[in-house]
């Protein structure tokens, strides 16, 4: 696995004058994520003016799908967009390297993004398929204005928010923390530490259980391997974003323990045991997703084909960045 030790992500991280020490990367990952969340405050202030300090402010219940989709998207964008700004500042003034060196080369960007979008959709659909095989999921009767074709506008609006959210988490964890640690120390250390950081960042999500925590670490490991093998952040950013969108706004499940406002195209609910379905945390807290992630990790590690869905890494690098 030449790509594991020689990913372009590590080459790009070395373009700066210094690599952040692991003792700083770990706390800064949490600080950067927390500070970025403060960007959502103005959105909640504006919403409170319109709706008061009611349940609508946080759950978006009672709003038309299009309106709920708009506010859900704005919450996601405002809570995560600052991650990009913070990382740009850190890279420019401390590590002294361009923003594109986090994995944003323009070459093959559209192909990688589209491929990640497709793979993420298939992965989560596979999880739902497993639930279906075990009879652990069924259609749920909900508000007709919040599901199906009537909710299409809101569902599509929310996608923009998920694109920013998923991309920002990938930029922080797989674009910065993993390559910096992996380039300065060992690739496996970067992969392990970044996966643990990712899991802990979601540790305060509601309805978290032990399987969910394991799955978060597994997703972190899979995402790190995917990004390392592709040598880019485009594909895994798309995969992460569409995974959340399909989970919450296509199938209607909880997304890591939280509701996805804006409606859903297919409104499903879990009916089986929590250890399989994830219960109140959503499918990410159950063994159906565990199985999909383990298989995905194995495929990423060992699939050897000329037409592999992952870009071969040859150690060369061109400045094609932003």
The answer to whether residue 20 sits within a structural domain is: yes
pLDDT the model gives residue 266:
94
The answer to whether residue 202 sits within a structural domain is: yes
Burial of 32: CB neighbours in 10 Å, binned 0-12, 13-18, 19+: buried
What is the mean pLDDT for each group of 10 consecutive residues in the chain (322 residues)? 93 96 98 97 94 80 91 96 98 97 96 98 97 94 88 96 98 98 97 97 91 97 98 98 97 89 92 94 96 98 64 40 36
- Cα gap 129→149, rounded to integer Å: 22
The answer to whether residue 314 sits within a structural domain is: no
Chain centroid to CA 315? 27
The answer to whether residue 271 sits within a structural domain is: yes
What is the 8-class DSSP label of residue 258? B
Tokens of 198: 């990712």
**Strand 137-139 vs strand 268-270: parallel, antiparallel, or unpaired?**
antiparallel
Q: What is the pTM of this model?
A: 0.92
The answer to whether residue 321 sits within a structural domain is: no
The closest alpha carbon to 26, from 203, 172, 124, belongs to 172
What is the longest distance spanned by two Cα atoms in the chain? 58
The answer to whether residue 318 sits within a structural domain is: no
Which residue's structure tokens are 């609508």? 56
CA atoms 36, 212, 284, 136: torsion sign: negative
- DSSP secondary structure string for all residues of 17-53: S----HHHHHHHHHHHHHHHHGGGHHHHHHHHHHH-S
- Cα gap 309→312, rounded to integer Å: 9
Whole domain around residue 19: which residue ranges? 2-302
- Cα gap 144→141, rounded to integer Å: 8
φ and ψ at 104, to 5 degrees? -110, 40
The answer to whether residue 311 sits within a structural domain is: no
pLDDT the model gives residue 251:
95
Which residue's structure tokens are 């790509």? 3
The answer to whether residue 322 sits within a structural domain is: no
Look at the chain and report how many structural domains it folds into. Answer: 1
The contacts of residue 92 (CB under 8 Å, 6+ apart) are 99
Helices 22-37 and 65-90 cross at an angle (nearest 10°) of 150
Task: Please tell me the number of Cα atoms within 13 Å of 314 on its side-chain side.
Answer: 3
């Amino acid at each position: 696995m030449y790509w594991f030790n020689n990913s372009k992500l590590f080459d790009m991280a070395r373009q700066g004058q210094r690599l952040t020490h692991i003792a700083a990367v770990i706390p800064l990952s949490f600080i950067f994520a927390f500070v970025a969340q403060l960007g959502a405050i103005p959105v909640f202030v504006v919403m409170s003016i319109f709706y008061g300090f009611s349940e609508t402010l946080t759950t978006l219940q009672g709003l038309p799908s299009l309106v709920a989709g708009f506010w859900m998207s704005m919450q996601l964008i405002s809570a995560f967009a600052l991650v990009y700004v913070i990382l740009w500042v850190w890279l420019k003034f401390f590590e002294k390297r361009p923003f594109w060196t986090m994995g944003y080369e323009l070459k093959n960007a559209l192909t990688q993004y589209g491929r990640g979008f497709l793979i993420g959709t298939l992965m989560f659909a596979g999880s739902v398929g497993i639930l279906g095989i075990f009879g652990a999921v069924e259609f749920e009767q909900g508000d007709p204005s919040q599901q199906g074709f009537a909710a299409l506008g809101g569902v599509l609006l929310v996608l923009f928010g998920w694109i920013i959210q998923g991309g920002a988490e990938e930029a922080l964890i797989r674009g910065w923390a993993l390559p910096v640690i992996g380039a300065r120390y060992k690739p496996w250390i970067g992969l392990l530490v970044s996966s643990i950081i990712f899991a802990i960042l979601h540790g305060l999500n509601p309805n978290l259980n032990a399987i969910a925590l394991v799955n978060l670490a597994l997703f972190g490991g899979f995402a790190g391997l995917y990004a390392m093998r592709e040598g880019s952040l485009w594909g895994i950013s798309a995969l992460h974003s569409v995974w959340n969108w399909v989970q919450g706004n296509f199938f209607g499940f909880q997304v890591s323990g939280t509701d996805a406002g804006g409606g859903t195209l297919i409104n499903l609910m879990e009916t089986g045991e929590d250890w399989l379905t994830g219960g109140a945390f959503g499918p990410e807290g159950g063994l159906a997703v565990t199985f999909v992630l383990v298989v995905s990790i194995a495929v990423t590690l060992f699939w050897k084909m000329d037409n592999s869905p992952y870009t071969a890494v040859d150690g060369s690098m061109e400045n094609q960045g932003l």
